Structure 1
Amino acid sequence: MADKRSHPTRRALLAGFAASPIAVAGIGAFPRSARAQAQAAGLITPNVCMVLPEVTEGPYYFDPDMVRRDITEDRDGIPMRLHLQVVNADCQPVAGARVDIWHCDARGIYSGYRNTGTDIDARGETFLRGTQTTGADGVTRFDTIYPGWYRGRTTHVHYKVFLDERTVLTSQIFFPDALSEYLFQSVAPYNERGQRRDTMNGTDWIAEQAGEGAFASIREQKSYYDAALVVGIAPAADSARSGAAGGRGPGTDGGPPPGDNGGPSRPDRGTVFIPGPKG
């Protein structure tokens, strides 16, 4: 009976964190009381993104079949450790879920595609893409770099959570504009491209649709940034409503990299593995 009575409270806590406007500030935004509440509920951060299942792929996703924590490869940039915790609506951790992430490098380049507007053809490459499986606490970690930017999008990281072969959660993680601007203007190789002008968090419609909770909590460490986000499974999820977070293709989701379609084909959903590595 005690567990049943606690569920509405834990659900309200999770939903409250997801809707909190102070999450957008990212760095040191939450008061100590909120962090204490999150810790008591078993959450790694008060930054919570409630995500809806969908059956479509995210923009320019492909599965390089690489189960690895460190996805950096040869990319230059500020090191970042990204922690994602998958929980259900009652704040209970989801163990054994597969988590994929992918993002552009410091110069706005995605692996696996020919990037138009530059002389860079990254087809056949796999940098800044990888897979991990959540532990008993629902947490997985990736070692990567702080993402760059490209025209038409604010700074972001794509992710997918596979609960089984057909249930997929797709969304994006966003970062504080103040930190992004500092890095893009002051730190190589981010500052080699000139000033970011066209799209910030406030003018990116995908960031708006994803909601306040989709912004990562950022902590500056001695030699890297620590980023964390709780991915909550929405209790009334509907795949027809999930396109805003994940996108449905080039030209409609605002999510394509600065390139064409000359990249890997999307895998047959029936071949997706869950959990852990293929084979």
Structure 2
Amino acid sequence: MQKASFPNKLSRRRALGLIAVTAGGSALVPVQLFAQQASPTSDTALLMPEAGVCSITPETTEGPYYFDPELERSEITEGREGVKLTVRLQIVDEACNPIEGARVDLWHCDATGHYSGYPGQGDGRDVDTTGQKFLRGWQRADKTGIVSFETIYPGWYRGRTTHIHFKAFPREGSEMTGQMFFPDDVSEHIFSTRTPYNQRGGQRDTMNANDGILRRAGSGTQSAVREAASAYEALMIIAVKRAG
């Protein structure tokens, strides 16, 4: 993959096209501009919101596969095979101010549609991953409100479109649960051309348009994924209530 080149300042249309959208699929901050800042010695690109009003990210179901692995880490693959993916999330409050120290938990299925830590998975309900902790972890947000996870592109399983789960804890005793979604064309390309995605049996039966959880959360607009130097990158801004 060729490294993408991005300007230091983004137009409103360009910025909203690059950031991942909320769980409901609508752009998180429809009236706001975003400036992209990158360290001159790093390929890491950060999304820094300017002052404004951020719509609270809608919550979605936690699902049956959450548990706290008690692992504070950024690299969560544990050797699971798949296309490399960097997930970068920025936690902000209603005024778009970054929330330093917010905890973010992330978890998702592997390339074959299996989560760690649970029995009775797979098309035959015969896959047991009890005791395993792959593709799970948590981090604290830095001073810009950003956490970054190194993982793999999630696969699919029956009844759900491609997604990643997260929990954000802006402060002690407060949490929100959400999901981020991926463009079907990107998913289909990866699933049909890359190993081990293209080696699994069965037929994918759910796309973004007919995923019940995504539909209930809001519109069917997809999140954005881009190609970086050596991996795909997914960005999302999560707006939560800082207090109350």
Q: TM-score, normalised by structure 1?
A: 0.65
62, 77, 82: which one aligns with 2:82:
77
The offset of 1:98, in angstroms, is 0.4
The aligned counterpart of 1:183 is: 190
Paired residue type of 2:105: D
> Does residue 1:50 correspond to 2:46, yes or no?
no
218, 226, 233: which one aligns with 1:219:
226
Find the aligned partners of 2:118 and 2:55 in 1 and give their Cα distance: 28
2:171 is paired with a residue of what secondary structure?
coil
The aligned counterpart of 1:206 is: 213
Paired residue type of 1:148: G
1:206 is paired with a residue of what secondary structure?
helix
Find the aligned partners of 2:218 and 2:34 in 1 and give their Cα distance: 19
Find the aligned partners of 1:57 and 1:37 in 2 and give their Cα distance: 31
Find the aligned partners of 1:68 and 1:220 in 2 and give their Cα distance: 23
**How do 1:103-122 and structure 2 match up within 5 A?**
103-116=108-121, 117=124, 119-122=126-129
Paired residue type of 1:141: S
Change in Cα spacing, 1:151 to 1:144, as seen in structure 2 (3 Å) is: same
The offset of 1:212, in angstroms, is 5.0
The offset of 1:52, in angstroms, is 4.7
Q: TM-score, normalised by structure 2?
A: 0.74
The offset of 1:180, in angstroms, is 0.3
Change in Cα spacing, 1:156 to 1:53, as seen in structure 2 (3 Å) is: closer
2:132 is paired with a residue of what secondary structure?
coil
148, 155, 164: which one aligns with 1:148:
155
The offset of 1:207, in angstroms, is 1.3
Find the aligned partners of 1:135 and 1:89 in 2 and give their Cα distance: 18
State the identity %: 47
> Does residue 1:60 correspond to 2:99, yes or no?
no
> Does residue 1:37 correspond to 2:38, yes or no?
no
Aligned 8 A contact 1:173 1:215 in 2:
no
The offset of 1:114, in angstroms, is 1.0
CA RMSD of aligned residues (A): 3.4
Change in Cα spacing, 1:92 to 1:105, as seen in structure 2 (3 Å) is: same
Change in Cα spacing, 1:49 to 1:145, as seen in structure 2 (3 Å) is: farther
Paired residue type of 1:37: L
Count of residue correspondences? 208
Change in Cα spacing, 1:205 to 1:141, as seen in structure 2 (3 Å) is: same
**How do 1:114-263 and structure 2 match up within 5 A?**
114-116=119-121, 117=124, 119-194=126-201, 196-211=203-218, 215-233=222-240
Higher normalized helix content (fraction of residues): 1
Aligned 8 A contact 1:111 1:125 in 2:
yes
Higher normalized strand content (fraction of residues): 2
Aligned 8 A contact 2:100 2:145 in 1:
yes
The offset of 1:194, in angstroms, is 4.3
Paired residue type of 2:68: D
The offset of 1:210, in angstroms, is 3.0
Find the aligned partners of 2:56 and 2:210 in 1 and give their Cα distance: 21
Aligned 8 A contact 2:74 2:138 in 1:
yes
Paired residue type of 1:120: V
Gaps (5+ residues) in structure 1? 1-12, 25-29, 239-279
Gaps (5+ residues) in structure 2? 1-11, 22-26, 38-45
